[in-house]
Amino acid sequence: MKAIALATCSVLISTGVHAADLTVAYETAPVVADGFSWTGGYIGVNVGYGWGDFEHSVQTKTPEGKSPLPGTPESEIAYRILDQATYNSSPDGFIGGAQLGYNWQFDQLVVGVEADFQGGNIKGSVSGGADSYGFNAESKIDWYGTARARLGYVPAERFLVYATGGLAYGHVESYMNYAGYESSVSTTKTGYTVGGGAEYAFDNNWSLKAEYLYTDLGEIDNLSAQRVYTKFSSETEASFQAVRLGLNYRF
């Protein structure tokens, strides 16, 4: 009986020790947090709306006093402005395109680079003037792109707000009729863009963004004509704004 009792106690003690070991092992198993980071590359698409303020400046200059003799050097002719005016058109239209970029996150600070290309139909027209100085113009941006730096802040783990700016380029078509002279220009211009936006990652690989950009493509020489010594000229300043919604895939 004493032997049986000792054996029984030994089995119970051994079983208890193993159970305690299992319990301790289960309770101390580490839990790994699935942290999110904005670091990495991405590619995406966007759609939006653009509107602008195209400034068309025209000018007519004629020699001061009596007309110079034929063959008079240009440097010896003094001109006065006979007509000068500025007309503003308000082009607008829808845009759509794609973007790609890369981010680096340092704590709550995010720096990155992004390039995008947009197709669209941002166009407008304006007319004015009177008598022999009548004026009308039509201008359109049918594609443009940007290459920008981004600087952002992360107030919450999956929410990013940022400022952005850099190079812009685009294709501008401009038709103008001033004082009976016609001009049609199709050219690619470069300029700058600045703006900002916000982005939210609703998944480890997918994010949505809303963005605003102001873009200035600079000045376009539309018309340079001369009737005897009277000179006619016109220029267009092409700038516009855009708001876009985008979807990015992060890899």
Q: What is the gyration radius of the CA atoms in the chain, in angstroms?
A: 34
Say whether pTM exceeds 0.85: no
Task: Using alpha carbons, select from 46, 187, 216, 193 the residue that is nearest to residue 119.
Answer: 46
Paired tokens of 120: 């669209």
**229 Cα distance to chain centroid:** 44
Q: What is the pLDDT of residues 224-236, one digit of tens each?
A: 888 888 888 888 9
Residue at token pair 């103008």: 176
pLDDT of residue 34: 54
Long-range contacts of 67-72 (CB under 8 A, 24+ apart): 67/228, 67/229, 68/229
Q: Is 73 exposed, middle or buried (0-12, 13-18, 19+ CB in 10 A)?
A: exposed
Q: What 3-state DSSP class applies to 8?
A: helix
In whole angstroms, give the CA distance from residue 131 to residue 175. 20
**172 Cα distance to chain centroid:** 17
Task: Using alpha carbons, select from 181, 197, 107 the residue that is nearest to residue 137.
Answer: 181
Beta strands in the chain (DSSP E): 40-52, 54-63, 79-89, 92-106, 109-128, 135-156, 159-178, 181-201, 206-227, 230-250
- What's the N-to-C CA distance of the chain in angstroms? 72
Give the β-pairing of 40-52 and 206-227: unpaired
Q: What is the pLDDT of residues 54-84, one digit of tens each?
A: 999 999 998 887 778 777 887 788 888 888 8
Give the β-pairing of 40-52 and 92-106: antiparallel
pLDDT of residue 148: 98
Question: How would you write the pLDDT of the chain (251 residues) with one tens digit per residue?
Answer: 444 444 444 544 454 444 445 444 445 444 434 589 999 999 999 999 999 989 999 999 988 877 787 778 877 888 888 888 899 999 999 999 999 999 999 999 999 999 999 999 999 999 988 777 889 999 999 999 999 999 999 999 899 999 999 999 999 999 988 988 888 999 999 999 999 999 999 999 999 999 999 999 999 988 888 888 888 888 899 999 999 999 999 99
Q: What 3-state DSSP class applies to 89?
A: strand
